[in-house]
Structure 1
């Protein structure tokens, strides 16, 4: 405890007196605000998850604020940890539903104070060693915790601290005088609340949150949102370039129909044809057009079913009716100036082709949320490969076009160590105990507002029918719907849901698209994630804004499904399928924008980690599928740069990590590629393995210069690099030359690559004869230019003004190269090495349980600024290597660099920056380490920059990755 006390004293000295103090300090005071990179919620959840008790005193609480904490509170309840909350009815801000939600949480006690003007905002989380306090401006609301501009001070204190003592003392006084929350109290408050006129201005003033506004039939009130404005400009520019077709890719709920109507007004056609696959969509789209376009009612018509408004200026037709020849040929080919294809991903079907090929409009617009198809159809050629505009889930959330959501990845039912899998039979899916489990989760994670309007997605039709029957027996109002149900039955069920005559619609093969129920406030996923496309489609069913809900609740029941790794892919839109990225994203509380949150119960999270380790996204079948999508989108064989630039494409690095180079991959796909000579193969392999990552762009720029110039002057090149602001020293230049002449590499690598790329004579640099000869082949030259262009794009992820970039990943060989070592010494690094005035230190954070105790060091973060490090087995402060490092450090003759990876499953280490040695902490362990009492020393490193929150949390998480 004395050690912790001294460190806290040092922390407060750094926080309030001298931020440059070199003293070891744990848990420094921090000012926390909501930005794109950080928010109040994340560190608060960290403190909550590790506490043994907590107290919260806040004036205002929202359902979304409670939802943000529910998973953490669920895990605490499993550990027997309880907490207390004091809140109020000040300004009647807290809704009755808020108190109902608080009462559902079994491990918190809630009291309501009648203290006049109660406006407190304080949180304390206690553990056995210290307390963490958050004092500032944030109420327990989703806006205050993640979005609003708030000031909050995070402080760490021991029990004897005056501030913490005063807070707890005042809390107890208030607690004793407050009223315990109960069902009876809520009923009384609800009656009072209904009598009061709840002023929306109060909500706005307190939370800076405008209530959702909806348009009426006055077209002047409807204005384009940010996505629509940008898309309209893009469509205008497309037509100015002479194009007559375009495709809009826009997330569900972002207003595609209104966008098309805005563009119709912008285009001002004589006649318009709007095509959809369901009459329900036509009716809604016609109404949207009427809301926006100021025209006589008789100018709008339907061509479907029994309706035949053939001469309407704005004609809305179903594809099934219009594609029939007896209907299609009643129209002239040039009858419509402007044609809209809704749900354009369906337009690969013959019925759509017949219509599109018949008419000759001045402009054809396609609209879809998911151009990536699971049925291998291709639609891009129908729109001449003109993607006018794209807005995906993340961007739409950032723009606040969609309703925020709280996603809960919950643990599916488990019995005797067995849980639901991809192969589970119906009896397992509808087992009585699983139904109880589902109901418990629905009750706990709940929904926004008084009444639930939910969609459940299940695995098969029989499950849908049986689940509906069993839930109805338990008092729910549900109906199962499948593709076997008529359109009339579907429409009727949707109306019943909207009127609260049903709680849930349970479906398996419909409602992924083409359904618009804005009031849906809960989406329940009771099936394996088949694809990220379907996941986003189903999530999107509830993302439309509606006055009855402040957010959407998503409850995803996660069993032992092989495709669980697709969940972080779908939520982040990161299609690199890099396993390390997926793991880190899974731990990153900030993976989603705005007020939305992503929450995983611990066992559910472990199941996803397991799936990530076993995923085969880089298998040829998956690569072929992802490649085909981009090829279809472009209309030609994509280059590496094309793959990189397409936000929906696979990462080209997936290919280059699996194949020697891109032509080898194309050859495997049986694409028409010209064979490479042996020399071309080896040179392209070198570029694709050693240069393309862009971790040091200078060597890429040198090669690009040499492709267009006979030679490059070394001095001129160095000056040019410095003028760009990039890092360059004489040692850097020497390192670049040694790399491209292969002098840097081990004999094994030299045998693999064989041909140097450059030749150096004094200050003159030229291409090697072998490389120069190979470049006479234009196809090969194009491949080289493609790899180098990709390397430049990759380099944008790195700070080229210095050798290493914080929080990026490096192999030991990378580090030898960018620190300008003469040779690749990665194979004899042994954890750390002192060379060329640099000491890179590599840490495996979570040691395998199988390794010998003598090397199972307790290397760990003491906090985000301080890292505890152990020297190599068998060495201590008196050993030559460690004495040299410490002496060189004292004399300012060496720089120490810290690299950490989570465990052996990761291939590369995160660079966490330069570190200083806390010399006072350096000590030999008296009893050594391991059974043999091997000598070893321990010391603390002070990080120049605190570890980024997401990386820190990733390392500190107890969940381990698994080797492939």
Structure 2
């Protein structure tokens, strides 16, 4: 099988990290972009090097899917370490293993500590749990790859306690732009669901209390679905099995062909096949279908289980992002949840790395309640809104800087000038990134013309220095040029070439350090001959 370009990039990046000495690394990809194919190829590469490879997961379906995909992708068969099955004395070099079985001391002690040279963790956001850590610490010298869908920042910080770095990330917007996932249209329904009194349990909303709070709204939700979902294949996520079953009755009364599945459904596989075949148009579940189930023809997702966990929200929405013949887009229906807990995930959580942009996008969507909006286009508009807000704030800051006559450029000014929103929204994930900037980093930043006072961590300092070096190699403006020219009213000097800025500064110097009368800083584009 030929890998897609981003899959090959991920494969190479992981193996390069291991060669460089990194033991434990992560790959983050959105649901539907082939993470199993990537780690199947990596497993094949490790087998060729003589390693035993362990694929570790917490559910039987994930293990079966991994074994099937590895065989179809590489031709290699897998042994199984689960219940009564074991890989001991097997000819096969790849093992799919249940963490529930492997974590038992009686089972784990049979393996030498160096038995597995490579461990791959599917759904790696589970890797920091005690069961996984018991297995990983036993094979402590193995190279470890964790693969997960887009986690939230809290997850990344937690994963950063075990994993050393992020080898590769493929984002949802990029996957949509490159045609590997379908576009998403977000629709905010102006039905205000009050969950302000719902408590928190294990860091997220208490499912039982949400179910009780949701019951009075089920009829109204079904009525709204008559307007937007009649021609769609819809999956609905609900907080409780009883709520899910009740909603099926409500939907049926509204003319939908609805079905429900849960962990205890004896006919679950038959219902899922019938839904896939089009015998049902709505499938309700209580968080059962977040992992290990694919139905590419799903083109509408409704999340009636509000959550603070971005990773969980992405998994639910990911059930509808795959491509399918005749499918134009995914309709993601979001409700106006009334809550004082502002961390609630919304459609903006899927594509916005910057929290300010996410909040602005959510506000914009609420202002357009009842209208389906392309999420990628809406994100661009929200980004422009936030950039404008930041530029206004920056203008005030620059005025203050001019009064103080600083010789160094403020980091925010530099980021805005070179239009680097990723720098402005940076959040450290790994331990070394969270540490304060080192003395060497501070010295280098000052030498390059950046004021280090407001750089709070080593990760941001490293990212800035790396960006400055790459810009220098590309022949773009330096921080000192940006400070000088923007201090005289020129705009976005960070987008100019180094030589353009140098020639302009030479003209200003030759004019007694005044801007020549024939140059208007407000309209100067940095492209004309100076």
Instruction: Report the TM-score, using the length of structure 1 for normalisation.
Output: 0.38
Question: Distance between the aligned counterparts of 1:444 and 1:325, measured in 2?
Answer: 56
Contact 1:630 1:638 survives alignment (8 Å): no
Q: Does the alignment pair 1:397 with 2:176?
A: yes
Number of residues of Structure 1 aligned to a counterpart in Structure 2: 421
Aligned to 1:616: none
Aligned to 1:429: 214
Are residues 734 and 390 of structure 1, via their aligned partners in 2, closer, same or farther at CA, if it must alter by over 3 Å? same
Contact 1:411 1:559 survives alignment (8 Å): no
Instruction: Report the TM-score, using the length of structure 2 for normalisation.
Output: 0.65
Aligned to 1:505: 283
The answer to which structure has the higher helix fraction is: 2
Aligned to 2:72: 291
SS in 1 for 2:308: coil
Aligned to 1:304: 82
Measured after TM superposition, the shift of residue 238 of structure 1 is 1.9
Contact 2:238 2:285 survives alignment (8 Å): yes
Aligned to 2:31: 252
Structure 1, 422-431 or 459-468: larger mean CA deviation = 422-431
Q: Could you list the per-position Cα deviations for residues 35-74 of structure 1 after superposition, in whole angstroms to 9, with x for gaps in the alignment?
A: xxxxxxxxxxxxxxxxxxxxxxxxxxxxxxxxxxxxxxxx
Q: Does the alignment pair 1:554 with 2:332?
A: yes
Aligned to 1:107: none
Contact 2:301 2:331 survives alignment (8 Å): yes
Q: Does the alignment pair 1:323 with 2:97?
A: no
Question: Distance between the aligned counterparts of 2:480 and 2:309, measured in 1?
Answer: 32
Measured after TM superposition, the shift of residue 341 of structure 1 is 0.7
Contact 2:25 2:144 survives alignment (8 Å): yes
RMSD (CA atoms): 4.7
Aligned to 2:302: 524
Aligned to 2:136: 356
Q: Could you list the per-position Cα deviations for residues 211-245 of structure 1 after superposition, in whole angstroms to 9, with x for gaps in the alignment?
A: xxxxxxxxxxx321121011122123223323343
Measured after TM superposition, the shift of residue 548 of structure 1 is 6.8
Aligned to 1:924: none
Aligned to 1:229: 8
- Equivalent of 2:53 in 263, 272, 276: 272
Question: Distance between the aligned counterparts of 1:504 and 1:732, measured in 2?
Answer: 73
Aligned to 1:372: 152
Aligned to 2:474: none
SS in 1 for 2:430: helix
Higher alpha-carbon Rg: 1
Aligned to 1:342: 122
SS in 2 for 1:351: helix
Question: Distance between the aligned counterparts of 1:441 and 1:395, measured in 2?
Answer: 32
Aligned to 1:842: none
SS in 1 for 2:188: strand
Question: Distance between the aligned counterparts of 2:11 and 2:180, measured in 1?
Answer: 16
SS in 2 for 1:577: helix
User: Gaps spanning 5+ residues in structure 2: where?
Assistant: 199-209, 390-425, 439-451, 459-478, 488-497, 525-530
Measured after TM superposition, the shift of residue 301 of structure 1 is 2.8
Q: Does the alignment pair 1:445 with 2:228?
A: yes
Contact 2:28 2:150 survives alignment (8 Å): yes
Question: Distance between the aligned counterparts of 1:639 and 1:305, measured in 2?
Answer: 47
Structure 1, 282-291 or 506-515: larger mean CA deviation = 506-515
User: Gaps spanning 5+ residues in structure 1: where?
Assistant: 1-221, 414-418, 613-628, 642-655, 667-693, 703-718, 736-819, 821-835, 838-892, 898-912, 915-964
Q: Could you list the per-position Cα deviations for residues 506-549 of structure 1 after superposition, in whole angstroms to 9, with x for gaps in the alignment?
A: 34444444443434332112354635444333211211234474
Measured after TM superposition, the shift of residue 502 of structure 1 is 4.3
Measured after TM superposition, the shift of residue 259 of structure 1 is 0.3
Question: Distance between the aligned counterparts of 2:265 and 2:144, measured in 1?
Answer: 28
Contact 1:394 1:592 survives alignment (8 Å): no
Q: Does the alignment pair 1:637 with 2:434?
A: yes
Q: Could you list the per-position Cα deviations for residues 259-279 of structure 1 after superposition, in whole angstroms to 9, with x for gaps in the alignment?
A: 011122333244321111110
Question: Distance between the aligned counterparts of 2:513 and 2:347, measured in 1?
Answer: 42
Q: Could you list the per-position Cα deviations for residues 277-297 of structure 1 after superposition, in whole angstroms to 9, with x for gaps in the alignment?
A: 1101111111111111124xx
SS in 1 for 2:135: helix
Question: Distance between the aligned counterparts of 1:246 and 1:459, measured in 2?
Answer: 33
Measured after TM superposition, the shift of residue 440 of structure 1 is 4.2
SS in 2 for 1:408: strand
Are residues 733 and 477 of structure 1, via their aligned partners in 2, closer, same or farther at CA, if it must alter by over 3 Å? farther
Measured after TM superposition, the shift of residue 574 of structure 1 is 3.7
Contact 2:14 2:25 survives alignment (8 Å): yes
Measured after TM superposition, the shift of residue 722 of structure 1 is 3.9
Question: Distance between the aligned counterparts of 1:411 and 1:444, measured in 2?
Answer: 13
Are residues 400 and 590 of structure 1, via their aligned partners in 2, closer, same or farther at CA, if it must alter by over 3 Å? same
Are residues 580 and 326 of structure 1, via their aligned partners in 2, closer, same or farther at CA, if it must alter by over 3 Å? closer
Contact 1:447 1:553 survives alignment (8 Å): no
Aligned to 1:771: none
Structure 1, 402-411 or 460-469: larger mean CA deviation = 460-469
Question: Distance between the aligned counterparts of 1:895 and 1:724, measured in 2?
Answer: 16
Question: Distance between the aligned counterparts of 2:72 and 2:511, measured in 1?
Answer: 64
Q: Could you list the per-position Cα deviations for residues 162-203 of structure 1 after superposition, in whole angstroms to 9, with x for gaps in the alignment?
A: xxxxxxxxxxxxxxxxxxxxxxxxxxxxxxxxxxxxxxxxxx
Q: Could you list the per-position Cα deviations for residues 442-482 of structure 1 after superposition, in whole angstroms to 9, with x for gaps in the alignment?
A: 3433377xxx5432123555533432332234454445556
Aligned to 1:463: 243
Q: Does the alignment pair 1:723 with 2:502?
A: yes
Are residues 403 and 376 of structure 1, via their aligned partners in 2, closer, same or farther at CA, if it must alter by over 3 Å? closer
Are residues 283 and 894 of structure 1, via their aligned partners in 2, closer, same or farther at CA, if it must alter by over 3 Å? closer
- Equivalent of 1:575 in 334, 354, 361: 354
Aligned to 1:697: 482
Larger relative contact order (Cα-Cα within 8 Å, sequence gap ≥ 6): 2
